[in-house]
């Protein structure tokens, strides 16, 4: 399952030692120093056609690390609605990425990653996930004809596990915290499995850049601020690369301020920004209804903190009761989202007076994935 690829399909280097991504194989981290890979050149915004109904993400192919002839694995992701809502006397725009094919924003990145893996000859992949990334990978793997095995924390919601299984993927339930699932999948990787990690591999970040492209096309300008749930931070990092591409193209003057929202029960970014390195010492991985962002050590944590700093952004931590209240408030406005996505509402109410217009809130996961009330996991 190895292939020789051109620089077009493997334009990455290690963020730590700067070594290029190997020409053979599918390593998820640098084979020399263990660092994560990142793009070795800025992303570009060069859509092949204007936005429109059913235009799809393939119109951004020049942004993606794919050869021109590589088939694009798609389920119709992207082009999600941007809905204006009045909040405390101001118009706030809600980007409804929970309306992607598998019910979450993950589909943007998964479509690109699976397209690359398919083109490179991968036939079987593994991944660890609390639910949404796993469901997305399972769906796109099925579309691509690739076998998938998902290592899922035992506390993950039943509907998410059922969704993964419905796509034909094998589900391996792992007892313990979210990190235990990561440890289990790494044992498979050590045995030779291809790790289709949305958190480690940079391919999906190019897919997430399309969120920025769509926001620019829908608003006609850059947002002043963007609020989003942050666990591994792929949405924030990928969309930020997209805004930088728009800025480089001369289409926007400044990139938006980022507000990274976490559950107080597991808020490492917030902890570092509040207490510096010491903040990590008192940050724990505790149960939370926002299971999708229960990530104690984001693999690209330094990069996330850098983006927050460069955009004069901030990290916000919200309590469990606020998350459930936020889900109820969003539902009353017509948006039924899971608790992980609902963390944005209390953060929005708290931070809105300090944010520049237009303010965009990303709704990341559909409510049908997790309808339980008050049960932290």
Q: 16, 70 in Cβ contact below 8 A?
A: no
**274, part of any domain:** yes
Helix orientation angle between 344-351 and 320-332, rounded to the nearest 10 degrees: 90
Q: Which of 108-122, 225-239, 278-292 has the lowest mean pLDDT?
A: 278-292
* pLDDT tens-digit series, residues 66-76: 999 999 999 99
In a domain, 100, yes or no: yes
- 110 assigned to some structural domain: no
The answer to whether residue 129 is domain-embedded is no
Per residue in 84-134, pLDDT (tens digit) is: 999 999 999 999 999 999 999 999 999 999 999 999 999 999 999 878 999
Q: Are strands 82-87 and 90-96 parallel, antiparallel or unpaired?
A: antiparallel
Asked if residue 99 and residue 31 are part of one domain, the reply reads no
> What is the Cα–Cα distance from 354 to 252, expressed in whole angstroms?
21
Q: Stretch 267-271: mean pLDDT, rounded?
A: 96
- HEC profile of the chain: CCCCCCCCCCCEEECCCCCECCCCCCCCCCCCCCCCEEECCCCCCCCCCCCCCCCCHHHHHHHCCCCCCCCCCCCCCCCCCEEEEEECCEEEEEEEHHHCCCCECHHHHHHHHHHHHHHCCCCEEEEECCCHHHHHHHHHHHHHCCEEEEEEECCCCHHHHHHHHHCCCEEEEECCCHHHHHHHHHHHHHCCCCECCCCCCCHHHHHHHHHHHHHHHHHCCCCCEEEEECCCCHHHHHHHHHHHHHHHCCCCCCCCEEEEEEEHHHCHHHHHHHHHHHHHCCCCCCCCCCHHHCCCCCCCHHHHHHHHHHCCCEEEEECHHHHHHHHHHHHHCCCCECHHHHCHHHHHHHHHHHCCCCEEEEECEEHHHCCCCCCCC
Whether this model's pTM surpasses 0.75: yes
Pick the most confident of 48-62, 249-263, 359-373. 249-263
**Partner residues linked to 316 by β-bridges:** 261
Residues 177 and 285 sit within 8 Å (Cβ to Cβ): yes
Does residue 142 belong to any structural domain of this protein? no
What is the structure's pLDDT at 336? 98
The boundaries of the domain holding residue 269 are: 82-105+202-369
Q: What is the pLDDT of residue 6?
A: 47
Give the CATH number for residue 217: 3.40.50.1100
Q: Looking at the predicted structure, is the pLDDT value of residue 82 above 90? A: yes
- Greater pLDDT, 106 or 281: 106
Quick one: 32 and 100 in the same domain?
Answer: no
Q: Does residue 331 surpass a pLDDT of 80? A: yes
Residues 95 and 18 grouped into a single domain? no
Q: Which of 30, 15, 10, 44 is nearest to 300 (CA)?
A: 15
The stretch 12-38 carries a mean pLDDT of 94
* CA distances, 260 to each of 41, 64, 88, 136, 139 (Å): 25, 25, 21, 22, 28
pLDDT band at 2 (very low <50, low <70, confident <90, very high): very low
Cβ contacts of 34 within 8 Å, gap of 6 or more: 16
- Count structural domains, the chain: 2
Domain presence at residue 121: no
The pLDDT assigned to 33 comes to 96
Question: Are 356 and 288 in the same domain?
Answer: yes
- Comparison of pLDDT for 261 and 7, the residue scoring more: 261
Average pLDDT, the chain: 93
Q: Is residue 331 part of a domain?
A: yes
């Amino acid at each position: 399952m190895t292939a020789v690829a051109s620089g077009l399909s493997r334009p990455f280097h290690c963020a730590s030692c700067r070594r290029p991504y190997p020409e053979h194989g599918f390593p998820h981290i640098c084979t020399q120093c263990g660092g994560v890979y990142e793009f070795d050149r800025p992303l570009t915004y060069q859509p092949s056609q204007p936005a429109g109904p059913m235009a799809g993400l393939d119109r951004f192919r020049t942004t993606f690390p794919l050869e021109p002839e590589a088939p694009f694995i798609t389920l119709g992701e992207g082009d999600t609605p941007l809905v204006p809502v009045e909040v405390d006397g101001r118009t706030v725009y809600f980007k409804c990425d929970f309306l992607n094919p598998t019910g979450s924003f993950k589909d943007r990145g998964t479509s690109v990653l699976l397209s690359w893996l398919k083109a490179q000859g991968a036939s079987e992949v593994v991944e660890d996930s609390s639910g949404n990334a796993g469901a997305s990978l399972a769906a796109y793997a099925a579309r691509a004809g690739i076998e998938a095995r998902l290592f899922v924390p035992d506390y993950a919601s039943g509907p998410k596990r059922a969704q993964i299984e419905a796509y034909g993927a094998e589900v391996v339930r792992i007892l313990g915290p979210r990190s235990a699932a990561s440890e289990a999948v790494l044992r498979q990787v050590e045995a030779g499995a291809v790790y289709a990690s949305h958190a480690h591999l940079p391919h999906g970040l190019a897919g997430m850049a399309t969120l920025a492209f769509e926001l620019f096309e829908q608003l006609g300008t850059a947002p002043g601020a963007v609020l989003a749930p942050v666990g591994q931070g792929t949405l924030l990092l990928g969309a930020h690369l997209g805004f930088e591409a728009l800025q480089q193209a001369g289409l926007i003057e400044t990139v938006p301020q980022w507000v990274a929202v976490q559950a107080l029960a597991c808020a490492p970014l917030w902890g570092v920004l509040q207490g510096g390195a010491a903040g990590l010492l008192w940050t724990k991985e505790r149960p939370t209804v926002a299971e999708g962002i229960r990530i104690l050590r984001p693999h690209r944590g330094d990069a996330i903190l850098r983006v927050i700093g460069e955009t004069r952004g901030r990290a916000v931590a919200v309590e469990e009761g606020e998350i459930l209240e936020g889900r109820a408030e969003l539902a009353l406005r017509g948006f039924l989202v899971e608790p992980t996505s609902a963390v944005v509402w209390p953060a929005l109410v708290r931070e809105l007076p300090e944010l520049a217009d237009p303010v965009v809130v990303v709704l990341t996961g559909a409510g049908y994935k997790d309808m339980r009330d008050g049960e932290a996991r």
